[in-house]
Amino acid sequence: MNKFEIIRKILENAQNIKFYKDLYQNKGVQIENIRSIEDFKTIPFVSKESVMGEMLHVEDEETTFTRATSGTSGRMSIFHRSKKDREIHLDNFRTSANGYFTKDNRVMIIFPPDLSFIFSGYFSAVGCEVCFGDVYDLNYSANLINETKVDTLRTTPMIALKIGKILKRKNYKCEIINIILSGSMLSLLTRGALNDYYPEAKIIQNYGLAETGLIGWQCPEIHGTNSYHIFEDTYLYEIIDSETKKGSNSGELVISNLWVGSSSTLIRYKTGDHIEKSNKNCKRTKHGSIITFRGRYRFDVLKLKGLTLYKDLFEKALLTVTDYITDTYQLHLYEEEKNDKILPQLILKVIPKEGTDKKIGRAIVERRIMSSFMITPKYTFKDGVDKGLFLPIKVEFVDNLKTGRVKTQDIIDHRG
Ligand SMILES: [Zn+2]
């Protein structure tokens, strides 16, 4: 079957899924009128909120695994996996593993149990020796790394950093050669800190979502960046401009499954991720197109006064002050009234490096960040302040930052 024939089949099956049947009926979509991929692009989008709690499979679909994630709204999202889903995910995983690890590698997985279970299946299928770290006891995990001589870590950036700190403190010899991370974007700051803790390790990012599985991978030519190859045979990738809702080179990633028999059928699913088509080329043409991840809309991309501020550019600015600050931060966004205008106020909370002078250090950090944070290719944040668009960034030195156990949120928007 070609791509369109598969899409037709998926749409026909969707008539037996109450969620899609109701949606298409309400929006007046007639599946028989969808005769090309172009027609398909008129089908309504679905969002995380709209699919939450919905069964996205045909009743007799064979479901073998169920995964839950706590949504940002506090409600749980449940996603099912059929046998076919897991076969597809495993194939994609094998592609992503190529060139990094084989059956000879010893892997430690440090995640909450449901994810550890999924990942262990993948690594076992490749033939690796697998062990589990304890996501709730990183001291134990570090000891285990030391005892078992694992060489590959599969975890999140934050946990890899914490483990690195512990390994260093305990003077353990670090034999890690691969760190495979979930987290679609790695800041230069975190990347630098990871390189310090794990000097021998290749840092490989896997781009995946709970609702889809793996959707982007890095071959050895693009590892160490925030760019990914995509799985064009298993997903239809669309990049949608937020204003025009049409295809674009930069915008929200919208994804559709390209296989029949899924327990979690996604048809034009808005991922909430901001990506760009990359003009980079990989020497191995069969690897296909490359996309660059720019951030999650809710967390990494800030809209301020008609401008889009990107977390990665902010973190570039942070690199100018690494003599004064340690490797984690939180950026809080408030609004303040000044001269009868409501203006955005950014407050950066950081842990200073030992020996940093509280007053002078803070002033230097504030000044440097504002003059090196590019808000457009030509304007710095400081230019924006001078034009009266924002209030100056305030820096607060703190003793510690409140972080979650597994995921961190670096940018916190307090505007209503
Ligand atoms: Zn490649």
Residues 277, 261: Cα–Cα separation, whole Å: 29
- Mean pLDDT score across all residues of the chain: 89
Please write the tens of the pLDDT for every residue from 281-318: 899 888 989 999 988 776 677 777 777 788 888 888 99
Name the range with the highest mean pLDDT among 162-171, 293-302, 329-338.
162-171
Does the pLDDT at position 81 exceed 80? Answer: yes
Instruction: With respect to residue 48, please indicate whether it lies within any of the assigned structural domains.
Output: no
Q: Is the dihedral of CA 95, 97, 101, 106 positive or negative?
A: negative
* Residue in this structure with the two tokens 């400081």, named with its chain if needed: 382
Ligand 1 centroid to residue 205 C-alpha, Å: 14
Measured in Å, residue 288 CA sits from the centre of ligand 1 at: 7
Residue 164 has pLDDT above 80, yes or no: yes
φ, ψ (nearest 5 deg) of residue 317: -65, -35
pLDDT band of residue 407 (cuts 50, 70, 90) is low
408 — pLDDT class (breaks 50, 70, 90): low
Q: Phi/psi of residue 312, each to 5°?
A: -65, -30
Torsion 406-407-410-416 (CA) sign: negative
CA separation for the pair 137, 110 (Å, rounded): 10
Residue 88 CA to ligand 1 center (angstroms) comes to 20
Are both 114 and 256 inside the same structural domain?
yes
If 0-12 CB within 10 Å is exposed, 13-18 middle and 19+ buried, where does residue 137 land?
Answer: exposed
Same domain, 180 and 85: yes
21: in domain: no
Q: Are residues 180 and 274 in the same domain?
A: yes
Query: 48 CA to middle of ligand 1, Å?
Result: 30
How many angstroms does the Cα of residue 222 sit away from the middle of ligand 1?
7
Round to whole Å and give the CA distance between 96 and 316.
Answer: 28
Within 8 A by CB and 6+ apart from 266, the residues are 46, 51, 56, 211, 212, 255, 256, 257
pLDDT at 171 > cutoff 60: yes
For the sheet containing 325-338, what is the strand order? 394-397, 341-352, 325-338, 411-413
- State which amino acid sits at residue 10: I
Q: Is pLDDT at 32 greater than 70 in this prediction?
A: yes
- CA of residue 212 to ligand 1 center, whole Å: 22
Question: Using alpha carbons only, what angle is made at residue 268 by residues 280 and 245, rounded to the nearest 5 degrees?
Answer: 75
Residue 239 tokens read as 């990049």
Total domain count for the chain? 2
- What's the pLDDT score for residue 48? 84
Give me the CATH number covering residue 371: 3.30.300.30
pLDDT at 363: 95
Task: Tell me: do 217 and 361 sit in the same domain.
Answer: no
Q: Cα angle at 315 between 311 and 320, to 5 degrees? A: 155
CA of 158 to the centre of ligand 1 (A): 26
- Whether residue 19 is contained in a domain is answered as no
Residue 284 shares a structural domain with residue 323: no
- Report the C-alpha gap between 186 and 44 in whole angstroms: 32
What pLDDT does 74 receive? 59
**How far apart are the CA of 99 and the centre of ligand 1, in A?**
10
pLDDT of residue 72 exceeding 70, the answer is no
What is the distance in A from the centroid of ligand 1 to the CA of 283? 7
pLDDT band at 27 (very low <50, low <70, confident <90, very high): very high
Residue 63 C-alpha to ligand 1 middle, in angstroms? 33
Cα–Cα distance list, 62 to 66, 260, 262, 318 (Å) = 12, 12, 9, 49
281: CATH: 3.40.50.12780
Phi-psi domain of 282 (left: phi exceeds 0; alpha: psi -120 through 50; beta: other)? beta
Q: Is residue 4 part of a domain?
A: no
Q: What is the pLDDT of residues 187-217, one digit of tens each?
A: 778 888 899 999 999 999 999 988 888 999 9
41 Cα: distance to centroid of ligand 1 (angstroms)? 28
C-alpha 237 to ligand 1 mean position (Å): 18
**Is 64 within a domain?**
no
Token code pair at residue 281? 């080329």
Select from 273, 296, 319 the last residue of a domain.
296
- Whether residue 73 is contained in a domain is answered as no
From 243, 269, 296, give the residue that closes a domain: 296
How far, in Å, is the centroid of ligand 1 from the Cα of 259? 24
**Within a domain: 367:** yes
Check: CB of residue 99 under 8 Å from CB of residue 220. Answer: yes
pLDDT of residue 416: 67
> 59-68, 118-127, 131-140, 344-353: which has the minimum mean pLDDT?
59-68
CA of 203 to the centre of ligand 1 (A): 15
Q: Are residues 133 and 237 in the same domain?
A: yes
Taking the centre of ligand 1 as the mean of its atom positions, its distance from the CA of residue 291, in whole angstroms, is: 12
Using a pLDDT cut of 90, give the percent of the chain over it.
Answer: 59
Q: Across residues 83-111, what is the average pLDDT? A: 92
Which of 296, 311, 343 is at the close of a domain?
296
316/243 same-domain check: no
| Alpha carbon distance 261, 18 (integer Å) | 16
Determine the pLDDT at residue 99.
82
Q: What are phi and psi of 297, to 5 degrees?
A: -55, -45
Q: pLDDT digit string (tens) for 365-386?
A: 999 999 999 988 889 999 999 9
pLDDT-derived band at 404, boundaries 50, 70, 90:
low
398 and 365: one domain?
A: yes
Check residue 71 and give its pLDDT: 54
Nearest to 129 by CA among 147, 149, 112, 106: 106
The token pair that represents 213 in the structure block: 């599985």
Give residue 218 CA to ligand 1 midpoint distance, Å. Answer: 7
Distance (Å) from CA 285 to ligand 1 centroid = 7
- Per DSSP, 377 falls in state S
pLDDT of residue 227: 94
Residue 228 CA to ligand 1 centre (angstroms): 9
Domain assignment present for residue 280? The answer is: yes
CA distance 277 to 107: 33
The boundaries of the domain holding residue 406 are 301-413
How far is ligand 1, taken at its centre, from the CA of residue 280, in Å? 10
pLDDT in tens, 107-151: 999 998 888 998 999 999 999 999 999 999 999 999 999 999 899
Q: Tell me the residues surrounding ligand 1 (ion) with CB < 5 Å.
A: 219, 221, 282, 284, 287
CB atoms within 10 A of CB 3: 13
User: Are 346 and 330 spatial neighbours (Cβ–Cβ below 8 Å)?
Assistant: no
- 254 and 314 part of one domain: no
Q: pLDDT at position 298, please?
A: 67
Average pLDDT over residues 334-346: 86
Average pLDDT of span 10-18? 94
Looking at the fold, whether 229 and 356 belong to one and the same domain comes out as no
Ligand 1 centre distance from Cα of residue 273 (Å): 22
User: Do 385 and 259 fall within a single domain?
Assistant: no
Considering the domain architecture, whether residues 99 and 161 belong to the same structural domain is answered as yes
CA of 289 to the centre of ligand 1 (A): 9
